[in-house]
A and B are shown apart, each in its own frame.
Chain A
């Protein structure tokens, strides 16, 4: 709810072609004005003007003021609605004259001395009589610039107590005889930016007269604020209001989007309003070109900039449906332009950028939207919000989360240099003095995620102040957005017909820089083209060392080499040659490792198959792969042969027993060693369409990945790697073979131990494993197992690396691991099977603050000889912070999908960023963004991302929050269809304690997450269904039972619920309501929450307005109030005199504090 910006050229400023709308509007306003004048005459006749009337001068708040009052009650300590005008005053300032002039204006403008009173949930206001303005200069001689800025900032941000003091104040610092600093601070509830211009314009005239001892006069004010409030209420309640409401309901129909810009920090559950500003100027030629584009498009400069701003938001958020707020002056009636008061109104402008429209089309949409807003801008924003009933969420502002304005001052135009001060602004004349701008002074804190406030300066340059929520963004991120905006504008003026998704966000230099940031380290490949060759070179050095161990069995390097050769000869005798694919369907163990190496030795490629996979599925896979040979054990061979009989004879693979081959002593000649470009292995991965894909990996990619792993783990001859992954998981390859490249040891952990956390821990310690790779679900099980040990975490022997794999890694898991085992760092890994296992590594010795920003840990940076680019829909790099699709290039990019040229050609595309001609780039279908520090965040699959109400929801974030609940062991959040047709969030829980009530879980989550992320339905299940690889099998989660989740009528239980329910019913105008019904579903809103809170307090219950947002049912609110205990009865509202005294005491107190500085 920002309402500070003046009208300028908002929807109120328009050009030719808009005359009709303009004259219509004018008539309306004149009508309104006439109405107001008539009413005022009537009032005069009734003698009801002046402070002596029956109401004591008290009158209601305007709708805008009511909203601001609510926000003030919500966060009385926030400075979000303080408008501050700090300015250096150069010249012989006559302080007494300034004081007299300020006092005179104080008397002229009642809003400067308005007092507020809340009674029975109704807020009223009146102008205090005899209010004296305090202006006591603070001696600031010799102060450093920093000290002065600090003092001014503190004074500017000091919250107003609207119930106790006036909502405007002035401060003056005396820096030297002819150097002063003046600060005006006004709470937005009594004035807008236009008001400050009025005040300063009048002040310069009155000051000059007072200084000279001349009499002065200002034109009489023909309207009072009170008249405006009456007019506004009449208009809103009348036919005009009804017509305008209908217009907005139509414009804002359907699901309203929540702006989803990439954030640097997690969104706090409640807005804090802390703001900061980034300033940018556009050069005069660009400004001129933009004006030219506006002229030739029959639009205004404001519309062109608004459309471009929407394109920027579209590109950064990925959202097509955008709503941007824009202020209108609200001062159309005669008399209003001269008043000090809050009249500005916000209107939402909406555009649809789906389908990659041309910029010119977006501009046309914006132009129509502005015209419509112009005709319908009288409806107060707060009424609009009430009408539209957007979903309430205390972490966001309603309707829109960003605003755009192009400032243009109607009078005292030079003052813009002070009110929206950019660096190097010239001073502004003020009587015989000069006002020196305070550049980039944060005029107010951020009420929105992002605001863009622009103006055109005297040099004909557009200047933009990017005001942002400091809770959410780093300054560099906003600076980058501002740079991108300029890049967009330059392309737009060059060709406004360019489709918006094809506009680049980066200049060619920035794009090249971004691409360079996606390159892993370049390391020359080793002379050995395969892991087999690396293993063979270790045989000579470490022939007697153990190469592979499994339980009590082990094999040395020399022995393993002999067995590999023997089996390889057997394979060659069976017809294996270069590129022949052999399925290896054997239990994991020494023989399995031997088989993989033997296939390579015989020149072929292996396809690992888990013998536990149901045979029919294996047979289908074998048939699809075209493998002519299945290497298996003697025990499995017969059954396999029977299963293979389903395949037609010509294509049927031959099954061969491993022992048989090893013992055959075939005399076959082994082929020349495989080269780097030869096929190493094929892995079948599940495709999104359900049809498995056979991924082909070449030796050079496999070698590069293995060496990257060994290097990043510092893994050497003394180390031991656990081989615990099943054959169907691509990590099985490096687990089986990597240690053999450096003389290390493979410890095969059999399935029964690998799948049992306690047994796995024991086996890791027993077999001296130095690196363990497990999926996050197993990591959690291991941590929970370790937590059960009373006397400290169990001994893990020589373990020195935890290597999570397979899915996004929750940060809380890392924190728990590193708490338990601070000496065992984590290597987070990310990769596509298509590009030879992993392509990104991230080492974590402890959890840094940056690691906890997202609920899942970064995947780090590309490994050696690999590249990772985050690209937009047109294959252009996106700036840091912007979400795009991850594309992978480098030596590890595999050959493609076996027997599937179409999928291969779609997924493996030319690498336009590679120095190697003909290189390919893999399209991962994973969403990612590169952070400003270069690390990559994995944000889920393109196809698994949950999007609700246009908002990207990371289920992981909700899951992590749920797991913090003491009764929740595991959680999975899914978007599932609701009978209403829309998707809702469903949380599946595995409980470890007493089953919590749904309401308790909601309340618990509401403390951790924005409302939009609190699931609608919770369902406890016995265990998470897992796939063969230990990943969640979400298709096997039960369907939610919506019927059971619906809220039946539940009558109040006990006196507290009865009281709360009665108050709700009264305020909401309902006959009865169930204690489980949602406040907002019942029609509650922010204004009514004040009334409810006031009545609850009178009934002795401690309830604040914002409690209604977090405890949204009678039951929850009553619970909360009961837990909080009784409150002392509300104090009787103070009389006007009491208020005045308090205000003056406060002023004095402030001055004392200032002198103490």
Chain B
């Protein structure tokens, strides 16, 4: 489908987080799947990934920390 040309990550995305403290991108206009919550950060892909790099320092899942 020519992902190289266009992809959901080229649109507006939001930063979501699950119960293990793992961050992920998710399309801003889609309902957030169960077990994930909105962190309040949304915008372009690069902006959101930059934010994640800043806030996600310990990548270990919460349950094993």
Contact = CB atoms under 8 A, between A and B. Distances in A.
What's the interface size class on B, roughly?
35 or more
Contacts of A916: 35
Interface string A904-948: 111011111010111110000101000000000000001101010
A910 B16 contact: yes
Interface stretch (A95-103, A301-309, A752-760, A895-903): A895-903
A927 to B, nearest CB: 8
Contact of A905 (B6, B49, B57, B64): B49
B7 A918 contact: no
A797 interface: no
Contact of A910 (B7, B24, B60, B64): B24
B59 A895 contact: yes
Interface in B9-52: 9, 15-16, 18-20, 22-27, 30, 32-36, 45, 48-50, 52
B53 A883 contact: no
B36 to A, nearest CB: 5
A579 interface: yes
Nearest to A952: B2
Contacts of B18: 910, 917-918, 920
Interface in A831-875: 872-875
A318 B59 contact: no
Contacts of B6: 355-356, 501, 873
Contact of B61 (A882, A895, A917): A895
B64 A919 contact: no
B55 to A, nearest CB: 8
Contacts of A920: 18, 22, 24
Contact of A912 (B7, B33, B50): B33
Contacts of A579: 60, 64
Contact of B27 (A874, A925, A927): A874
Nearest to A578: B64
Contacts, number: 111
B33 A911 contact: yes
Contacts of A914: 33
Contacts of A904: 22-23, 56, 59
Interface string A342-382: 00000000000011100000000000000000000000000
B19 A917 contact: yes
Contact of A675 (B9, B59, B64): B64
B31 to A, nearest CB: 8
A319 B1 CA distance: 8
Contacts of A945: 4
A910 B59 contact: no
Nearest to B27: A875
B20 to A, nearest CB: 6
B1 A872 contact: yes
A578 B65 CA distance: 10
Please indicate which of the listed interface residues A895, A918, A925 has the most CB atoms of chain B within 10 Å of its own CB.
A918
A318 to B, nearest CB: 4
B8 A873 contact: yes
A622 B44 CA distance: 32
A902 B9 CA distance: 13
B14 to A, nearest CB: 11
B5 A320 contact: yes
A678 interface: yes
B49 A318 contact: no
Given A918-B18, A919-B35, A875 B30 contact: yes
> Interface on chain A toward B: helix, strand, loop, or mixed SS?
loop
Given A873-B8, A918-B35, A318 B2 contact: yes
B45 A906 contact: yes
Contacts of B22: 896, 904, 908, 918, 920
A486 interface: no
A902 B26 CA distance: 13
A915 to B, nearest CB: 9
Given A901-B56, A910-B36, A912-B33, A918 B20 contact: yes
Contacts of A501: 6
A873 B24 contact: no
A885 interface: yes
Nearest to A676: B64
A758 B6 CA distance: 47
Contact of A906 (B9, B27, B61): B9
Contacts of A578: 64
Contact of B3 (A319, A678, A908, A925): A925
A906 B36 contact: no
Contacts of A678: 64
Contacts of A320: 2, 5
Contacts of A917: 18-19, 33-36
A582 to B, nearest CB: 17
Nearest to B23: A905
Contact of A942 (B3, B9, B27, B34): B3
Given A875-B8, A901-B23, A905-B52, A896 B59 contact: yes
A677 B36 contact: no
B16 to A, nearest CB: 6
B33 A873 contact: no
Contacts of B2: 318-320, 947
A909 B24 contact: yes
Nearest to B6: A873
A275 interface: no
A330 interface: no
A1022 B54 CA distance: 49
A878 B23 CA distance: 26
A914 B9 CA distance: 21
Contacts of A901: 23, 52-53, 56-57, 59
A899 B58 CA distance: 9
A141 to B, nearest CB: 56
A942 B22 CA distance: 26
A884 interface: yes
Contacts of B27: 874-875
Given A895-B59, A908-B24, A910-B24, A873 B52 contact: no
25 contacts: A677-B64, A696-B59, A875-B8, A878-B1, A895-B61, A896-B22, A901-B23, A902-B50, A904-B59, A905-B15, A905-B24, A905-B49, A906-B25, A910-B16, A910-B26, A910-B35, A910-B36, A911-B33, A917-B18, A917-B19, A917-B33, A918-B36, A920-B22, A927-B3, A942-B4
Given A318-B1, A872-B1, A920-B22, 10 more contacts: A895-B59, A896-B22, A901-B53, A902-B49, A902-B50, A906-B25, A908-B22, A908-B24, A917-B19, A917-B34
Interface of A: 318-320, 354-356, 501, 578-579, 675, 677-679, 696, 872-875, 878, 882-885, 895-896, 898-899, 901-902, 904-906, 908-912, 914, 916-920, 925, 927, 942-943, 945, 947
Top 6 nearest A-B pairs (CB, nearest first) are: A917-B35, A918-B35, A918-B18, A901-B56, A902-B49, A912-B33
